[in-house]
Amino acid sequence: MPNARNTGFTRRLALAAFALGLAVAPAAADTLADVAARHKLVVGVEAGGTGAIISQQPDGKIVGLDAELSDYVAKKLGVELEMVPTAWPGIIPALLSSRFDLILSGMTATKARAEKVAFSVPYGDASLVAAAMTANAAMTSAADLPGKTIGVLLGTNTHEFAKKYGATLEAAGKKGLTIKTYDDIPAMLVEMANGNIDALMLPAPIIGGYLAKRPGQFRLIDGLGDKSWFAAAVRKDDPTLLAAVNAALDAAKADGTLAALQTKWLGKPTEGIPAVLDLK
């Protein structure tokens, strides 16, 4: 049952959803109505090893910043939370086929993805950085990247960024990048430890989580020139659900919950999060 603290929020949200529903096709409000009817918000996550953002423990429990943020959103809606682990390459297709209501799982908002899904307000810094083994003296800064072999996750914006970054190096008369793709982060870490890749690229907070867990093992390499943001994703025909998620995320920012969760999982709150996305 929704607690008393959230009752006012839920009623205001319901009124807003109803008002918005008058201006769109009737089917547009179905998902939010379904969430309320089943008393459950179903969130798609990739929990195969994204560290502090979201991961799955040996006992099956899903933990991390986005897991707790999903729980906060569900409580704001006055419903229970169910998280559905899904392989990253198939997570958007699974959303579009209605396997779950939204994605809240360290997803970087990109222009290409925005052609398929609708993004919420941003809630975290997803800017890309690299990391190498501390013992690798040949990889100490971004200046060492030309000619190196880089690991990235398959089906992510990092893969596209790495290809463009390599092309930029070549256009500047430098050696490009050899890019290897992987299904999950643990596989990349093993490959890097074995010397099969020189470095990997991931969003800064994800790498930060691994640096915190394994102090002294990895070297952070920034200065790649990327600036991007995490956001939740819903289907494009779910404007009322999107409004509900945005209201909950804005509430998390306003009441200090988001900053507290970022401090808990990332070591400090994220500064400079824009109010809205600007996907160029």
The tens digit of pLDDT for each residue in 216-240 reads 899 999 999 889 999 999 999 999 9
* Per-residue pLDDT band at 13 (split at 50, 70, 90): low
* pTM of the predicted protein model: 0.79
Contact residues for 115 (Cβ-Cβ < 8 A; gap 6+): none
Residue 54 has pLDDT above 90, yes or no: no
Q: CA 136, 141, 146, 152 torsion: positive or negative?
A: positive
Residue 274 has pLDDT above 70, yes or no: yes
Residues 68 and 255: their CA atoms lie apart, in Å, by: 15
Residue 58 DSSP one-character state: T
Range name among 41-50, 69-78, 222-231 with the lowest pLDDT average: 41-50
Rounded to the nearest angstrom, the gap between the alpha carbon of residue 270 and the centroid of all alpha carbons in its chain is 14
CB 129 within 8 A of CB 222: yes
pLDDT per residue as tens digits for the range 74-115: 999 999 999 999 988 899 999 999 999 999 999 999 999 999
Secondary element (H or E) of residue 31: helix 30-38
* Per-residue pLDDT band at 278 (split at 50, 70, 90): confident
Tell me, what amino acid is at 46? E
**Which contacts of 208-214 are long-range, i.e. CB under 8 A and separated by 24 or more positions?**
208/52, 208/266, 208/267, 209/50, 209/51, 209/52, 209/53, 209/265, 209/266, 210/51, 210/131, 210/185, 211/131, 212/52, 212/267, 213/51
- Residue 28: the pLDDT is 42
Residues 250 and 244: their CA atoms lie apart, in Å, by: 10
Q: Of residues 217 and 26, which shows the higher confidence score?
A: 217
- Residue 174: the pLDDT is 96
pLDDT per residue as tens digits for the range 115-165: 999 999 999 999 999 999 999 999 999 999 999 999 998 878 899 899 999
Residue 3 has pLDDT above 50, yes or no: no
Mean pLDDT of the chain: 87
- Residue 52: the pLDDT is 80
- Residue 49: the pLDDT is 62
Q: Of residues 18 and 229, which shows the higher confidence score?
A: 229
Find, among 173, 96, 68, the residue nearest to 83 by Cα.
68
Tokens coding 227? 């600036």
Residue 27 has pLDDT above 60, yes or no: no
Residues 95 and 117: their CA atoms lie apart, in Å, by: 9
